[in-house]
Amino acid sequence: MSKLRVTVWGENIHEWKHESVRLHYPWGMHKCIADGLNEAEDIEAQTATLQEPEHGLTEEVLARTDVLTWWGHCAHAQVEDKIVARVQARVWEGMGLLALHSSHYSKIFKALMGSSCSLCWREAGELERVWVCNPGHPIAQGLGTYFEIPEEEMYGEPFGIPVPEEQIFISWFKGGEVFRSGCAWRRGNGKIFYFRPGHETYPTYHNANVKQVLKNAVRWARPAGSIWIDDAPNIPADKAPEPIEVRGGSVHDAHGKIA
Amino acid sequence: MSKLRVTVWGENIHEWKHESVRLHYPWGMHKCIADGLNEAEDIEAQTATLQEPEHGLTEEVLARTDVLTWWGHCAHAQVEDKIVARVQARVWEGMGLLALHSSHYSKIFKALMGSSCSLCWREAGELERVWVCNPGHPIAQGLGTYFEIPEEEMYGEPFGIPVPEEQIFISWFKGGEVFRSGCAWRRGNGKIFYFRPGHETYPTYHNANVKQVLKNAVRWARPAGSIWIDDAPNIPADKAPEPIEVRGGSVHDAHGKIA
Amino acid sequence: MSKLRVTVWGENIHEWKHESVRLHYPWGMHKCIADGLNEAEDIEAQTATLQEPEHGLTEEVLARTDVLTWWGHCAHAQVEDKIVARVQARVWEGMGLLALHSSHYSKIFKALMGSSCSLCWREAGELERVWVCNPGHPIAQGLGTYFEIPEEEMYGEPFGIPVPEEQIFISWFKGGEVFRSGCAWRRGNGKIFYFRPGHETYPTYHNANVKQVLKNAVRWARPAGSIWIDDAPNIPADKAPEPIEVRGGSVHDAHGKIA
Amino acid sequence: MSKLRVTVWGENIHEWKHESVRLHYPWGMHKCIADGLNEAEDIEAQTATLQEPEHGLTEEVLARTDVLTWWGHCAHAQVEDKIVARVQARVWEGMGLLALHSSHYSKIFKALMGSSCSLCWREAGELERVWVCNPGHPIAQGLGTYFEIPEEEMYGEPFGIPVPEEQIFISWFKGGEVFRSGCAWRRGNGKIFYFRPGHETYPTYHNANVKQVLKNAVRWARPAGSIWIDDAPNIPADKAPEPIEVRGGSVHDAHGKIA
Residue of C nearest to B92 (CA): C136
Across chain D, mean pLDDT equals 96
Q: Is C121 on the interface with A (CB under 8 A)?
A: no
Contact assignment for D167 to B171 by CB distance below 8 Å: no
- Chain A, residues 176-205, CB within 8 A of chain B, namely 176-177, 185-188, 200-202
- Gap from B146 CA to chain D (nearest CA, Å): 9
Give the closest of A118, A235, A251 to B122, CB-based. A235
Closest approach of C175 to chain A, Cα-based (Å): 10
Strand partners, D10: D49, D71
- Residue pLDDT, tens place only, B109-134: 999 999 999 999 999 999 999 999 99
For an interface test with B, the pick among A11, A17, A109, A118 (most B C-beta atoms closer than 10 Å) comes out as: A118
Q: Are B88 and B213 in contact (CB under 8 A)?
A: no
Pairwise CA distance, residues B50 & B255, whole Å? 42
Angle, to 10 degrees, between the axis of helix C208-221 and the axis of helix C29-38?
70
Query: Bigger pLDDT: D207 or D1?
Result: D207
pLDDT tens for C119-153 read 999 999 999 999 999 999 999 999 999 999 999 99
Query: Which of A139, A226, A231 to mutate: most D Cβ within 10 Å?
Result: A226
Long-range Cβ pairs for the range A22-30 (8 Å, 24+) = A23/B249, A24/A201, A24/A202, A24/A203, A24/A206, A25/A200, A25/A205, A29/A71, A29/A198, A29/A200, A29/A205, A30/A71
Could you tell me what percentage of chain D is helix, strand and coil, using 3-state DSSP and rounding each to the nearest 5? 30, 30, 40
A136/D contact by beta carbon, under 8 A:
yes
Distances (CA, A) of B200 to B15, B18, B245, C171: 8, 10, 63, 50
Closest C-alpha to A69, from A114, A25, A38, A27: A38
Chain D residue whose CA is closest to A143: D226
Judging contacts by C-beta atoms under 8 Å, the chain B residues touching residue D171 are 178
CA distance D257 to D251: 8
Using the Cβ of D129 and the Cβ atoms of chain A, whether some distance falls under 8 Å is answered with yes
> Which residues of chain B lie closer than 8 angstroms to A121, CB-CB?
232-235
> Which of C132, C167, C177 is the closest to A172 by Cβ?
C177
Q: D225 and A94: CB-CB below 8 Å? A: no
Q: Which residues of A126-141 are buried (b: 16+ CB within 10 A; e: fewer)?
A: bbbbbbbbbbbbbbbb
Q: Say how far residue C255 (Cα) sits from the centre of its chain.
A: 40
- What whole-number distance in Å separates Cα of residue B34 and Cα of residue D166? 35
Judge if pTM exceeds 0.95: yes
Tell me if A123 and B14 make a contact (CB, 8 A cut-off): no
Mutate to test the interface with D, among A90, A228, A231 (most CBs of D within 10 A): A228
B86 in any annotated domain = yes
D109 and D161 Cβ atoms separated by less than 8 Å: no
Q: Residue A160: which residues within 8 A CB-CB, separation 6 or more?
A: A115, A116, A117, A118, A119, B92, B188, B230
Cβ atoms of residues A98 and A220 within 8 Å = no
- The predicted pLDDT at position C249 comes to 85
Local confidence band at A70 (pLDDT 50, 70, 90 cut-offs): very high
Distance between CA atoms of B258 and B141, rounded to whole angstroms? 54
Interior/surface letters C133-147, b for 16+ CB within 10 angstroms, e for the rest: bbbbbbbbbebebbb
For the cut 90, the answer to whether the pLDDT of residue D230 exceeds it is yes
Calculate how close chain C gets to A237, using CA atoms only, in Å.
Answer: 19
Question: Which H/E stretch holds residue C142?
Answer: none
Determine, for residues C226 and B94 on separate chains, whether the beta-carbon distance falls below 8 Å.
no
Chain D residues lying within 8 Å of C230, measured CB to CB = 116, 118, 160
Give me the residue from C133, C157, C163 closest to A165, CB to CB. C163
Closest Cα partner for D72 from D97, D103, D105?
D103
Chain A residues whose beta carbon lies within 8 Å of the beta carbon of residue D140:
225
Q: Is residue A16 part of a domain?
A: yes
**What is the torsional sign of CA A105, A109, A112, A118?**
negative
Q: Which of A104, A107, A113, A1 is nearest to A57 (CA)?
A: A107
Angle of the B208-221 helix axis to the B29-38 helix axis, nearest 10: 70
Q: Which of A21, A122, A258 sits opposite B251 (nearest CB)?
A: A21
Centroid of chain to Cα C248: 46
> Residue B188's closest chain C neighbor by CA?
C134
Smallest Cα–Cα separation from B117: which of B146, B151, B84, B155?
B155
Over range A210-220, report the average pLDDT: 98
Contacting residues of D for C231, CB less than 8 Å apart:
118, 120
Confirm or reject contact between B49 and chain C (CB < 8 A).
no
The confidence band for C243, taking pLDDT boundaries of 50, 70 and 90, is very high
Query: Which long-range contacts link C234-238 to residues 24+ away (Cβ below 8 Å)?
Result: C234/D120, C234/D121, C234/D122, C235/D120, C235/D121, C235/D122, C235/D154, C235/D156, C235/D175, C235/D177, C236/D122, C237/D122, C237/D124, C237/D175
Query: Chain A contacts of B20, Cβ < 8 Å?
Result: 248-251
For residue B253, pLDDT beyond 80: no
pLDDT tens, residue by residue, C179-229: 999 999 999 999 999 999 999 999 999 999 999 999 999 999 999 999 999
- Name the pairing type of β-strands B166-173 and B178-187: antiparallel
In a domain, residue B237? The reply is no
Residue D102, domain member (yes or no):
yes
D137: closest chain A residue by CA? A225
CA B111 to chain centre: 11
Q: Which of D224, D213, D219, D184 is nearest to D41 (CA)?
A: D219
Establish if C134 touches chain B: CB-CB under 8 angstroms: yes
Instruction: Please give the residue range of the domain that contains residue C105.
Output: 4-221
Q: Which long-range contacts (CB under 8 A, 24 or more apart) does A46-51 make?
A: A46/A6, A46/A7, A46/A8, A47/A7, A47/A8, A47/A9, A47/A10, A48/A7, A48/A8, A48/A9, A48/A10, A49/A9, A49/A10, A49/A11, A49/A12, A50/A10, A50/A11, A50/A12, A50/A13, A50/A75, A50/A78, A50/A79, A51/A12
Nearest to B177 among D131, D156, D176 (CB): D131
Mean pLDDT, chain B, as a whole number?
96
Contact (Cβ atoms closer than 8 angstroms) between residue A184 and residue A166: yes
Give the residue-averaged pLDDT of D69-96: 98
* Mean pLDDT (chain C, rounded): 96
Confidence grade of residue C252 (pLDDT, cut at 50, 70, 90): confident
- Does C114 contact D116 at a Cβ distance shorter than 8 Å? no
Q: What is the CATH number of the domain that holds A8?
A: 3.40.50.880
Q: Which of A137, A147, A166, A219 to mutate to test the interface with D (most CBs of D within 10 A)?
A: A137
Is D223 in the A-facing interface, judged by CB distances under 8 Å? yes
φ and ψ of B227, to 5 deg = -75, 145
ipTM above 0.85, yes or no: yes
Distance CA B131, CA A134 (A): 36
Q: Which residues lie closer than 8 Å to C232 by C-beta, 6 or more apart?
A: D105, D118, D119, D120, D121
- Whether residues A174 and B126 touch (CB distance < 8 A) is answered with no
Count of domains in chain D? 1
Q: b/e string for B116-155 if b means 16 or more Cβ within 10 A?
A: bbbbbbbbbbbbbbbbbbbbbbbbbbebebbbbbebbbbb
Q: Output the pLDDT for position D26.
A: 96
B162 with A186: Cβ contact below 8 A: yes
Q: Are D40 and D70 in contact (CB under 8 A)?
A: no
Q: What is the pLDDT of residues D168-185, one digit of tens each?
A: 999 999 999 999 999 999
- Residue D252 is predicted with a pLDDT of 82
Q: Return the closest-CA partner of residue A199 out of A70, A118, A77, A102.
A: A102
In sequence order, what are the beta bridge partners of D9? D48, D70
Q: Would C99 be classed as within a structural domain?
A: yes
By Cβ distance, the residue of C129, C188, C225 closest to B138 is: C225
Q: How close C1 comes to chain B (CA, Å)? A: 10
- Closest Cα of chain A to C78: distance in Å? 30
Examine the pLDDT at B257 and tell me if it is beyond 80.
no
Q: How close D129 gets to chain B, by Cα (Å)?
A: 8
Per-residue pLDDT tens over the stretch A9-38? 999 999 999 999 999 999 999 999 999 999
Helix axes D208-221 and D29-38, enclosed angle (nearest 10):
70
| C141 vs A: CB within 8 A | no
Q: Give chain B positions within 8 Å (CB) of C2.
A: none
Q: How far apart are CA C237 and CA D54, in angstroms?
A: 39
Pairwise CB contact (< 8 Å): B137 & C225: yes
pLDDT of residue A252: 82
Contact list, D118 vs chain B (CB under 8 Å): none
CB A152 within 8 A of CB A127: yes
Q: Give A21: exposed, middle or buried? Use CB within 10 Å, 0-12, 13-18, 19+.
A: buried
Domain-located, residue C142: yes
Asked if the structure places residue B54 within a domain, the reply is yes
Q: How far is B21 from chain D (nearest CA, A)?
A: 29
Q: Does D158 contact B135 at a Cβ distance shorter than 8 Å?
A: yes
Say if C7 is an interface residue toward chain A (CB within 8 Å): no
The maximal CA–CA distance of chain A, rounded, in angstroms, is 72
Strand partners for A258: A252
Give the distance from residue C55's alpha carbon to the nearest chain B alpha carbon, in angstroms: 28
- In whole angstroms, what is the distance from residue D69 CA to residue C256 CA? 27
Give the Cα separation of D227 and C248 in Å (integer). 44
- Chain D's closest residue to A219, CA to CA, is D224
Interface contacts A/D by beta carbons within 8 Å: 58
CA distance A195 to A172: 14
**A-chain residue closest to B251, CA distance:** A18
Q: How many C-beta atoms surround the C-beta of residue B68 within 10 A? A: 26
Residue C259, pLDDT above cutoff 80: no
Amino acid at A151: E
Give the helix ranges, DSSP H, for A94-202.
107-113
Flag the least confident range among B59-63, D16-20, D154-158.
D16-20
Interface contact B175, partner A, CB < 8 A: yes
At D157 the three-state DSSP class reads: coil
Chain D interface disruption, residue of B146, B172, B196, B242, most D CBs within 10 A: B172
Residue B128 in any domain: the answer is no
Q: Which amino acid is at B219?
A: R
